[in-house]
Chain A
Amino acid sequence: MNEVVLTPKEQPYVPIETSTIKPDDFANKSIDEIKDLEVWYGNTSSKIGDFFDVEGESGPTPAETNILIDGDVYNTKRIGQGMTDGKITVNGNVNMYVGAEMEGGIITVNGNADSWAGQDMRGGELIINGNARDYVGSSYRGDWRGMTGGIITIKGNAQNEVAEYMLGGKLIIQGDVRHMPGVHMNGGLLVIEGNVISRPGGEMKNGTIVIKGIVSEFLPGFEYHGIEKDLNIQGESIKGSFYKFKGDFSEKGPDGTVYVAVAGNNHIVP
């Protein structure tokens, strides 16, 4: 396993877009070739070498190539977009679209991520050890076909409309979220271990949402189905007692399921 280490120079004021930072583009390339890969700096075509010091050696295939971004890249977007194999580790914060459209491999962010992490994800694993913002595991704007596979884990909190139009795969948020998690969801599993401010599962047609914390405001489009204990969903075993709801009946023939922990949530039960 070979590793390429990118050490960020000062982050530019205008964000850079770096979908070329992925094992698929680095594999089987010399360090000079990697420095020459294109990145977008605003509306200008630029090069990786302009923003990073590059060291190490790439492997012959993506699977044998690790990328370490050793530092904070808070103004760098689209890291690992569309990657199919290998590993990316970031020791710092990242901007939007980390792991968007990824199909395989592992991305680990030891920091916070901005919005659209894992957008349209197809496979692989994305781990954010800090917080994430809006639209984690969502669809592309306007599309009704979002994330279809893979696993996203957010160790901290996320914000609004996570798992929007999700169709498959798993999204686990260990902290809290804000409004409308799982909006328009149509498959897959969304687990929120912390609290939800409002409207989980709005207009969902299918898929499962599990909320272990407190839901302040719940939608009226769901049917109450009693209490269930110790869930087992998509190979994920989740302990505890949950209120079960089916919906959202604002849609035609919905088959979505929302489990909300019994503890602290009796205000949403009919």
Chain B
Amino acid sequence: MEYIIKNGNVYDPLNKIDGEKVDISIKDGKIVDSVSADAKEIDASGQIVMPGGIDPHTHIAGAKVNVGRLIRPEDSKKDTEFSKPDSGKRAGTGFSVPSTFMTGYRYAQMGYTTAMEAAMPPLLARHTHEEFHATPILDHAAFTLLGNNWFIMQYLKEGDIDKAATYASWIIKATKGYAIKIVNPGGTEAWGWGGNVHGIDDPTPYFDITGGEIIRGLAEVNEMLRLPHSIHLHCNDLGHPGNYETTLASLDLPKGIKVDPVTGSRKTSVHATHIQYHSYGGTNWRDFVSEAPTIADYVNKNDHITIDIGQVTLDETTTMTADGPMEYDIHTLNGLKWANCDIELETGSGIVPFIYSPKAPVPSVQWAIGLELFLLVDDASKVCMTTDSPNGGPFTRYPRVFSWLMSNKAREDMLENKVHKWAEKRTSLATIDREYSFYDIAQISRSSPAVVLGLSDTKGHLGVGADADIAIHNFNIDNQDPSADYGAIESSFQRSSYVFKDGKIVVQDGEVTIPNHHGRTFWVDSLYNAELEKQVVSEVENVFKQYYSVNFENYPVQDEYVLKPAPINGIKEAGK
């Protein structure tokens, strides 16, 4: 099937197209130079055309997401979707943690076509991939959690970086994972002993290694393996007043490491995720203030870093993370139900519902800090749009966040009428009048994540050879002013007029038309050193016999688990 999209205002930052009317030709799932006269024409006049959205950090598949669904039936009734048996469309429920099918539909309706599960414990990789099976439309990948992994901590402690790299390359392959995810390095392991670590110089029990050593070690490993994505870092001390100093110190650690990925055009050595939660000043919740300007200044002055925000959307949501001790803190703070899991030799996790009330001082400040970071980092190619869904708020709120970014009036309305006055007093938000353009929005939600993930060859742009993942939104730049008509931004991004996935129309007029299209699973296939890998795997097997609850043979994710594999080649035998 061939299509040609005509007359739309195209925003394609990687090809420097800023609202011009450019025809987009589609053939066999790809964007091409030209199509035949038989191509079906889509008239996008008075509409904006962007590459399909890419979410570089979300929680949509795996054990903790599923526990979130299980412990929150009351969340289920807040958003529901009926099945349409003839079309293959499945029923679903859930507002902050939608069921798998609905996750695919809701992302697609917003024009998003790729989403990354940000935290996959190796032991639960199979479950994560099983849920990907049932999450339609989206291309996806999962980041393998390694920041509290016993083998990594042991090898780094022994100073054997080659073995650490070998293990990392093997475990990413074995779990069909995509990137090295670090969550509260050392802290989640300390939680296994009932504690936490504070800052980057606090050694974790038994392994006696600090968060800082883990971050630096894994950052080096990442570039030894020349992975498509940089390390994906959830810093220590998440959500603690005064944590910005830990954040700055952590971000400095991967500075100067030579970056040369096998695929993609990434030049950065660290991606700091949901940085909103790591930009806090003060010493407690009473003198809590924003340090977003300090963090934004650091990001502006340094080129080895990209960030995503973790914007708070002021909803009732469900927090879930591998940062087990932090979830316990939340549970003691709000007293709501709490699920906790220790994942053997690898990581942990926790889940607690959370109500970000706009009337309450702290959530209002968190909301403002997120927006400050968006608006104070000058270069939108360093910034990715996330709410750390569902932690800061569900991904279905992205359109609302776009409207806050594009309209100073929308923010003034919030500050004057909706949020607690602390948002004005404890942050600089009220003094910022920058407004994002659609080009900026296309950067934070399309091109920046594509580049930082190493997928910019085929994703995040509309040039020839790209996958035909395209979103068309009904907003007329000739007669609508985004600054004044911010409600229209939200509604046009919530329900796209057309979404193409791999050259097929999967959404039309805001409704899913092909509910059973299956996306690709990206994973990294690399081999650091075959001989060393044999040795490391045999060491792993021995530890398995002693400590793991499963047999080694049942651990790696078989090829059959990945329905539509899209392996990204990493290094081959570089460590020899």
From 130 to 182 in chain A, residues with beta carbon under 8 angstroms from any chain B beta carbon are: 139-144
A143 to B336, CA, bound (A): 10
Stretch at the interface among B44-52, B70-78, B142-150, B297-305: B70-78
Chain B residues with Cβ below 8 Å from A252 are 335
Q: Which residues of A sit under 8 angstroms from B74, Cβ to Cβ? A: 139-143
Give the complex CA separation of A140 and B74 in angstroms.
Answer: 6
| Docked-complex contact B335 and A140, CB < 8 angstroms | no
On chain B, the number of residues with a Cβ less than 8 Å from chain A's Cβ atoms is 9
Give the nearest-CB partner of A120 in chain B: B74
Contact of A144 with B336 in the complex, beta carbons under 8 Å: yes
The answer to whether A142 touches B71 (Cβ under 8 A) is yes
B534 at the interface (CB under 8 A from A): no
A45 to B, closest residue via Cβ: B82
Give residues of chain B (56-77) contacting chain A, Cβ–Cβ below 8 Å: 71-75, 77
A-B Cβ contacts below 8 A, count: 16
Chain A residues near B335 (CB, 8 Å)? 252
B72, B74, B336: residue with the most chain A Cβ atoms closer than 10 Å: B74
A144 / chain B contacts, CB cutoff of 8 Å: 336-337
B73's closest neighbor in chain A, by CB? A142
How distant is A148 from chain B, measured CB to nearest CB, in Å? Answer: 14
* CA distance in complex: A141, B93 (Å): 14
Min CB distance, B295 to chain A, in Å? Answer: 35
Find the A residue at minimum CB distance from B70: A142
Distance to closest chain A CB from B17 (angstroms): 47
Provide the bound-state CA to CA distance between A139 and B77, in Å: 13
Q: For window 12-34 of chain A, which residues contact chain B by CB distance below 8 Å?
A: none
Q: Is A141 within 8 A of B73, CB to CB?
A: yes
Q: Which residue from chain B places its CB closest to the CB of A143 in the assembled complex?
A: B74
Which chain A residues border B77 with CB–CB below 8 Å? 140
Closest Cβ–Cβ distance, residue B89 to chain A (whole Å): 14
Least CB separation from A144: chain B residue: B336
Contact indicator A140/B336 (Cβ below 8 Å): no
User: Do A142 and B336 have beta carbons less than 8 Å apart?
Assistant: no
Which residues in B have their C-beta under 8 angstroms from that of A143? 73-74
Contacts of B72 in A (CB 8 A): 142
Q: How far is the CA of A140 from the CA of B77 in the complex (A)?
A: 9
Q: Mark A98-141, 1 if CB is under 8 A from B, else 0.
A: 00000000000000000000000000000000000000000111
**Docked complex Cα distance between A252 and B335 (Å):** 9
Chain A, Cβ-Cβ closest to B335: A252
Residue of B nearest to A139 (CB): B74
Inter-chain CA distance A140–B75, complex, in Å, is: 10
Residue of A141, A142, A252 with most partner-chain B CB within 10 A: A142
B73 touches A140 (CB 8 A): yes
Residues of A within 8 A of B71 (CB): 142
Nearest CB on B from A205, distance (A): 9
Alpha-carbon gap, A139 to B72, bound state (A): 13
Q: Nearest Cβ in chain A — how far from B409, in angstroms? A: 34
- Closest chain-B Cβ to A190's Cβ sits at a distance in Å of 22
State how many angstroms separate the Cβ of A27 from the closest Cβ of chain B. Answer: 26
Which B residues lie within 8 Å of A140 (CB)?
A: 73-74, 77
CB closest chain-A residue, reference B71: A142
Q: Which residues of A contact B75 (CB under 8 A)?
A: 142
B74-89 contacts to A, CB under 8 A, are: 74-75, 77
Q: Name the interface residues of A51-98: CB closer than 8 Å to any CB of B.
A: none
Q: Mark B447-472, 1 if CB is under 8 A from A, else 0.
A: 00000000000000000000000000
> Closest chain A residue to B76 by CB distance?
A142
A143 to B71, CA, bound (A): 10
Contacts of A142 in B (CB 8 A): 71-75
**Chain B positions 354 through 394: 1 when the CB is less than 8 Å from some CB of chain A, otherwise 0:** 00000000000000000000000000000000000000000
What is the bound-complex CA distance between A142 and B316, given in angstroms?
14
Least Cβ distance of B301 to chain A in Å? 46
A140 vs B93: C-alpha distance in the bound complex, in angstroms?
Answer: 15
Residues in A with CB closer than 8 Å to B337 are: 144
Question: In whole angstroms, how far apart are the Cα atoms of A142 and B78 in the complex?
Answer: 13
How far is it, in angstroms, between the C-alpha of A1 and the C-alpha of B549 when the chains are bound? 69
What does the 1/0 interface line of B246-280 toward A look like (CB < 8 Å)?
00000000000000000000000000000000000
Nearest-Cβ distance from residue A234 to partner chain B, whole angstroms: 25
Shortest B95–chain A CB gap in Å is: 13
Bound: A142/B336 CA distance, A: 11
Query: Would you give the shortest CB distance from A202 to chain B, in whole angstroms?
Result: 16
Q: How far is the CB of B189 from chain A (nearest CB, A)?
A: 29
Q: How far is the CB of A2 from chain B (nearest CB, A)?
A: 33
List which B120-155 residues lie within 8 A (CB) of chain A.
none
Shortest CB-to-CB span from B11 to chain A, Å, is: 41
User: In the assembly, what is the distance between CA of A106 and CA of B37, in Å?
Assistant: 67
User: Taking the nearest CB of chain A, how far is it from the CB of B280, in angstroms?
Assistant: 26
- Distance A141 CA – B72 CA, assembled complex (angstroms): 8
Assembly CA distance A140 to B78 (angstroms): 12
Q: Mark B319-357, 1 if CB is under 8 A from A, else 0.
A: 000000000000000011100000000000000000000
Give the shortest distance, in Å, between A249 (CB) and chain B (any CB): 15
A55 to chain B, nearest CB (A): 32
Q: Which residue of B lies closest to A252 (CB)?
A: B335
A252 to B77, CA, bound (A): 29
How far in angstroms is the closest Cβ of chain A from B317?
Answer: 14
Min CB distance, A33 to chain B, in Å? 23
> What CA separation (Å) do A144 and B316 show in the bound complex?
13
Nearest-Cβ distance from residue A229 to partner chain B, whole angstroms: 35
Query: Bound complex: CA of A252 vs CA of B72, how far in Å?
Result: 23
Q: Within the assembled complex, what's the spacing in Å between the Cα atoms of A34 and B335?
A: 46
Query: CA A200 – CA B71 in complex, angstroms?
Result: 24
Interchain CA distance A67-B527 in the complex, whole Å? 73
* Identity of the chain B residue whose Cβ is nearest the Cβ of A145 in the assembled complex: B74
Within 8 A of A (CB), among B287-301: none
Which of chain B's residues 392-448 have a Cβ closer than 8 Å to chain A? none
The 8 nearest A-B residue pairs measured at CB: A143-B74, A142-B73, A142-B74, A141-B73, A140-B74, A142-B72, A144-B336, A140-B77
Chain B interface residues toward A at CB < 8 A: 71-75, 77, 335-337
Please name 6 further chain A to chain B contacts, defined as beta carbons within 8 Å, in addition to the given A140-B74, A144-B337, sorted by A numbering: A140-B77, A142-B72, A142-B73, A143-B74, A144-B336, A252-B335
Cross-chain pairs A/B with CB under 8 angstroms, 7 sampled: A140-B73, A140-B77, A141-B73, A141-B74, A142-B72, A142-B73, A142-B75
